[in-house]
Structure 1
Amino acid sequence: MLKNQNSISAKSAWASGLIFILLMLSVKANFSLLLKIDTGIISVVQSSFPSFETALMTIVTKIAEPSFAIVYAVIIAGILWFMRMRVDAIWTLATIGGGDVIAYICKEIVQRARPRWNQIIPESGYSFPSGHTFGAVIIVFLILWFFVSQLRSETLQKACQIILIIWVVLVMYSRVYLGAHYPSDVFGAFFLAIAWLAIARWLYNKLYDFVAQYVEPKAEGKHSQH
């Protein structure tokens, strides 16, 4: 159950939120230094396009499609509902849905155009923040909290954690490699996701009893009975 899992620390949440806001303001203001850093990183990442790497990054970015993230969240919520963790299931859907709304609003506020060079897979819409990265971070944390933490083997837990971290890095790298985003887009999405997850966890704790009384009547909405 989510309430039994370690949450994101307040320090990490505030730091992530602040970094995201600073990045968003810098992007909105077309800060020249940020653009120089972005283009410099892009030139390094896109220094060559070996066929195997391009194929791998294309597969990664397809798996991490924002629409698929919603599907993954629905599957996770379905499993939780079947396990009688109904508040957690509802929270999962609310977290991915609310997060997508926040990310969309940020895109509309900033309205950053996508990079105009070396786009292997043409993309439409605004660039900041990266929807792929945002969704990947949300899903990875859901998997960590609900499933990986339940593994009895600490070694297996560590292995799964490393694999999931590598996955997020691959998603972030793929978006820059394929020319769909600036590096600041993917980092902005990462920090926004961390901040949003911290807020969502806070809302979970505040609203658990209220929601539980409707979806878990036998538990009478009591934390202590879970």
Structure 2
Amino acid sequence: MKLKFQFTLAFMLSVLSLICFSGIAILISGSKIVAFDNYIISFIQGVESPGLTVIMKCFTFIGSTPSVTVISLFSLFFLYKVLKHRTELILFISIIVGSPILNELLKLIFHRARPDFHRLIEINGYSFPSGHAMSAFAVYGVLSFLLWRHIPTRWGRTLLIVISITMILAIGISRIYLGVHYPSDVIGGYFASGCWLAIAIWFYQRYQEKKFEQKRPTQSKK
């Protein structure tokens, strides 16, 4: 019953994320989100300071490919050696590898130019959706899903969710603060990655459900 609920929830979240991403993509294509982007950019960059810039650059580095690679390798080692769950490794690798591939495909489809005002760092490539936002959501989203069941206490699970949400939001906001992404790029990245994460979990839960159903006849015979 629990597996069926998780299976249904993952499917519903994937559909919801896809709808939300599609809505943002339509608004961007019709240039109907410019006022929103400008307002959020003005608000976030309005609190600029030397110290905050250093912090934001640190979060951007944490969300970069080299950092994500290190975090992923450490997580794979932990899942394999400590938790002894090999099936979870396949889910983790699929999400982490699939996220940047999906990001590049989407960027090639939408061809959105990056903001060209008040950049604190220089970067090339298209803007929508944000690769950092997608990677952050994918990494901390899948880690939350995989580690949740192994944490017995409520405060431990709460801490896991708080840390994950904080990292996801901080990495996304850092891209807006540094002037290399529009807010809609970041939000779109969250929804795109959320859709991919939910679809991957859907297949994983489907596999777990089939595995459970195969074991059940054997257990009933005993």
Per-residue CA deviation, residues 158-209 of structure 1 (Å, 9 max, x unaligned), is 1231122122111111110000100000000111111111110122234569
Aligned to 2:163: 163
Asked if the contact 2:148–2:157 (Cα under 8 Å) also holds between the matched residues in 1, the reply is yes
Cα RMSD (Å): 2.7
Task: Quote how far apart the aligned CAs of 1:114 are.
Answer: 0.6
Aligned to 1:219: none
Per-residue CA deviation, residues 28-70 of structure 1 (Å, 9 max, x unaligned), is x2x2321121112111211242111111111111111134223
- The alignment-based identity, stated in percent, is 27
In structure 2, the gaps of 5 or more residues are none
Matched, 1:92 2:74: no
Matched, 1:21 2:33: no
Relative to the length of structure 2, the TM-score reads: 0.84
The correspondence of residues 1-226 of structure 1 with structure 2, limited to 5 A, is 6=6, 8-27=9-28, 29=29, 31-82=30-81, 83-207=83-207
Supply the distance in 1 between the matched residues of 2:63 and 2:196 (Cα, whole angstroms).
19
Task: Quote how far apart the aligned CAs of 1:74 are.
Answer: 3.0
Aligned to 1:218: none
In structure 1, the gaps of 5 or more residues are 213-221
Asked if the contact 2:27–2:33 (Cα under 8 Å) also holds between the matched residues in 1, the reply is yes
Aligned residues: 213
Task: Quote how far apart the aligned CAs of 1:81 are.
Answer: 2.5
Return the structure number with greater relative CO, CA threshold 8 A, min gap 6: 2
Task: Quote how far apart the aligned CAs of 1:79 are.
Answer: 2.4
